Amino acid sequence: MEDLAMTPTSSTLAAPLPTSASAAPRAPAPGLLDHPLHWRWALALLVLLLALPFVATALKEEFYIGLASRVLIFALAATSLNLILGFGGMISFGHAAFIGLGAYAVGILMQSGITSAWVAWPVAIGASALFALAIGAISLRTKGVYFIMITLAFAQMLYYVLVSLKAYGGEDGMSLPGRSIIASGIDLAQDQTFYYVALAAFALAFIVVQRLLNARFGHTLQAIRENETRMVAIGFPVYRYKLAAFTLAGGLAGLAGVLVANQSGFVSPALLQWNQSGMLMIMVILGGVGQLYGGFVGAVVFLVLEEVLSSYTIYWQFGLGAVLLAVVLLTPNGLMSLLQRRPGGITK
């Protein structure tokens, strides 16, 4: 039997010897749970975003710099929601609470004289993450519609708490004396500077999310979304993974709230209302639930449509609803799924 095992077969003799090129190791193909960044497309998009303020200034359309900043902020918020909704299967209807809490934390600290971004921003992000940890620790013990309702209930509770805080404007909200200070040479009061800070924050958060999704943590989270019962059966701490994702999403949403407060110079309990959470969910659905670029694409489409349609009619929500209906019917996986059907598309 040993002689037979050692005897080369005809297929072995016919096989060509490996050359240096063919023997070179190849990068493994992305798996079903991997979400590659697609550097060629990502770098092209980054170049366009970096050039946008210069183009807008050259065309004397500085308004679009502020609009682009708002798009990046809500793209960050939608990406944080997509982390738990699209990749974790957790349908949270109270995600706006983390945005509002981050915004209020910056506003309250600024009212107290703390204007340094290096102090106020980490505190705001930490407050949102801790609040998400507390909510998640309770909410994740439920499932389905009960999870949706309990996240909404917590968000509404925080909304009414902030309404009752008359020292910080109550229902009317409060104005910020200015924007946060990063360094002496970086003036966030200038829209172009603020735009680049928002772009840097979004890009950093996006890369963090992408790296996590392609790591063991992200693979486990997506496997829990697909079959939580099986993941529990084979010994994974499902609750801890979901709680970690929920907390991280809350912290990223808090960062978006920080940027919202700085851009508008105003915070109010309206940031925490349930319709704000619904708006974020619409962005994710438009772009693509469980798609890496889904939050970004959804935010761009939603806010650009809002801007264009509102310039023609006060009933712009009707047109947006028609677009959303068409997306749901024609592209069930969002606008990003259109690229999946094209050879060489940026999605898998």
**Span 177-231, pLDDT tens digits:** 889 999 888 889 999 999 999 999 999 999 999 999 999 999 999 999 999 999 9
Which pair of tokens denotes residue 308?
């264009």
Buried b (16+ CB within 10 A) or exposed e, 260-287: bbbbbebbbbbbbbeebbebbbbbbbbb
Residue 93 pLDDT more than 50?
yes
DSSP 8-state class, residue 271? G
> According to the model, what pLDDT value does residue 346 have?
53
> According to the model, what pLDDT value does residue 17 have?
47
| Alpha-carbon span 217 to 310, nearest angstrom | 42
Domain ranges of the chain: 50-273
Q: Is 342 exposed, middle or buried (0-12, 13-18, 19+ CB in 10 A)?
A: exposed
Name, in order, each residue with C-beta under 8 angstroms of 264's C-beta and a sequence gap of 6 or more. none
Residue 2 pLDDT more than 50?
no
DSSP 8-state class, residue 186? B
Q: In the predicted model, what is the mean pLDDT of residues 99-103?
A: 96
Q: Which amino acid is at 82?
A: N
pTM: 0.87
> According to the model, what pLDDT value does residue 219 have?
95
DSSP 8-state class, residue 207? H
> According to the model, what pLDDT value does residue 32 have?
74
Residue 25 pLDDT more than 60?
no
N residues, the chain? 348
Measured in degrees and rounded to the nearest 5, phi and psi for residue 178 equal: 180, -165
Binned at pLDDT 50, 70 and 90, residue 255 comes out as: very high
Binned at pLDDT 50, 70 and 90, residue 126 comes out as: very high
Are the C-beta atoms of 100 and 269 separated by less than 8 Å?
A: yes
Are the C-beta atoms of 284 and 78 separated by less than 8 Å?
A: yes
Q: What share of the chain is helix, strand, coil (3-state, %, to 5)?
A: 70, 0, 30
Match 């990749």 to its residue by tokens.
Answer: 87
Q: Residues 180, 185, 187, CA angle at the centre, nearest 5°?
A: 40
As separate numbers, helices (DSSP H) first and strands (DSSP E) second, the chain gives 16, 2
Residue 299 pLDDT more than 90?
yes
| Alpha-carbon span 36 to 323, nearest angstrom | 28
Residue 26 pLDDT more than 80?
no
Share of the chain above pLDDT 70, in %: 89
Taking every pair of Cα atoms in the chain, the longest distance, rounded to a whole number of angstroms, is 90
> According to the model, what pLDDT value does residue 6 have?
43
| Displacement of CA 157 from its chain's centroid (Å) | 24
What beta strand segments (E) does 28-73 contain?
none
Are the C-beta atoms of 246 and 221 separated by less than 8 Å?
A: no
Q: Give the chain's mean pLDDT.
A: 88
